[in-house]
Amino acid sequence: MQNVAVVGAQWGDEGKGKIVDLLCENFDVVARYQGGHNAGHTVKFGEHHYTLQLIPSGILHPDKLCLLGNGMVIDPAALLAEIARLRDLGVVIGDNLKISDSAHIILPYHRALDVAREEFAGEQKIGTTGRGIGPAYETKVSRYGIRVADLVDADVLREKIEFACAEKNPVLSGVYGKEQFDPKQLFDDYLRYGEILSERITSGTVFLNEQIRAGKSVMFEGAQATMLDIDHGTYPYVTSSNCSVGGVCTGLGVAPKHIHHVIGVVKAYTTRVGGGAFPTELHDAHGEHLRTRGNEYGTVTGRSRRTGWLDLAVLRTASMINGLDAIALTKLDVLDEFDEIPVCTAYKVRGKTWSTFPAFAVAHHDYQPEYRTFKGWKTSTVGITSFDELPQEAKDYVRFIEDETETRASIISTGPRREETILR
């Protein structure tokens, strides 16, 4: 069995959770390689509805092993709350969930700095979730971070927390006028988290490579999406990690040769949360219809998402960066009621046509989308499970996307539930 990476191909919220859940039966291990609890996956089947933030979607399948990789930043309180919530819904969480000892930890001062900076930035704020993701990654890169392994080493944990508070408390109080943190209280709290989580902590890289050598198949699951990648996205309005396929290698410690297939999850239109470039954004009744019909509200924050038409320049960029082998096209049914459906085919930027996303234009928002308009199908596609049963106009829409991205839409979602899917 081959190993597969599932990545978002736009600005996130494409429906990766459903796709991972749908494909899980074919894999032995599901490993998350980056991000924190600032993004979530929603999985629905029948009358069951699960919301996931840190834990891979594979946890809904009791016979699958799940790993939180070293590329993640983990808030132990959020993780334990998620475990408890899922258990209340009947999900079995035991030895099937492991945590890499090299993943980094989010602490309360990270959250406080995140919120304080956004308040200080005013109209220039990035639009973070305030959960401390960026500051935690900053601490990691500055080489003073606290890792999961430190939670079970009292002497190291105490030393690192005391150092961090000595550095960050003056900034919080002196620059932002916020309360300081008591290092002893933080030490007691996080030592307790280490005791609770100790049986799940493992060398994630060794664990995963042992599974691969044993012939187990692995699904690599990311959060957010390509256009939010810290290197390849619409900087600075991005997340703080590599959510494109390259993050699999660094965020889990697996060699590129072990990634056999890459699936890009694509929403049939476009959304994004927070500030930053969005060339096809709609501020009219069409945009509101997409938001309402598509239930475009954040899984974690509940924030309403910005909505717009499909952007092929974004998809070509994502296909190039990730080397997509297939597309999973989601929320096709959300377009059911439109008379016409425009698709952005390229941009005009300073007199030049761009078929991929021009990073230099982000700072000035000076891209002018060029559209091709398709006739809507004006009939329900909800729950259709055969491509042949789709209206002809919907087939034309899908095939145009395939032609323009040179990537086959092997999966087409026609509703939020697991069973509302076309598999080609």
Q: Which residues are catalytic?
A: 13, 41
Closest CA to 407 of 235, 261, 278: 261
Q: How far apart are CA 166 and CA 174, in angstroms?
A: 13
How far, in Å, are 161, 234, 274, 364 from residue 360 at the CA level?
Answer: 40, 9, 20, 8
Length of the chain: 424
The DSSP bridge partners found for residue 264 are: 7, 327
DSSP 168-189: HHHIIIIIT------HHHHHHH
Q: Which stretches does DSSP call E strand in 153-294?
A: 201-202, 218-221, 261-267, 270-272
**Is the CB of residue 416 less than 8 Å from the CB of residue 18?**
yes
Q: Whose structure tokens read 């550095």?
A: 167
Three-class SS state of 15: coil
Q: Which stretches does DSSP call E strand in 326-408?
A: 326-330, 340-349, 352-354, 367-375
Q: How far apart are CA 316 and CA 158, in angstroms?
A: 48
Q: Which residues contact 19 (CB under 8 A, 6 or more apart)?
A: 6, 263, 265, 328, 330, 411, 413
Q: Which stretches does DSSP call E strand in 122-208?
A: 201-202
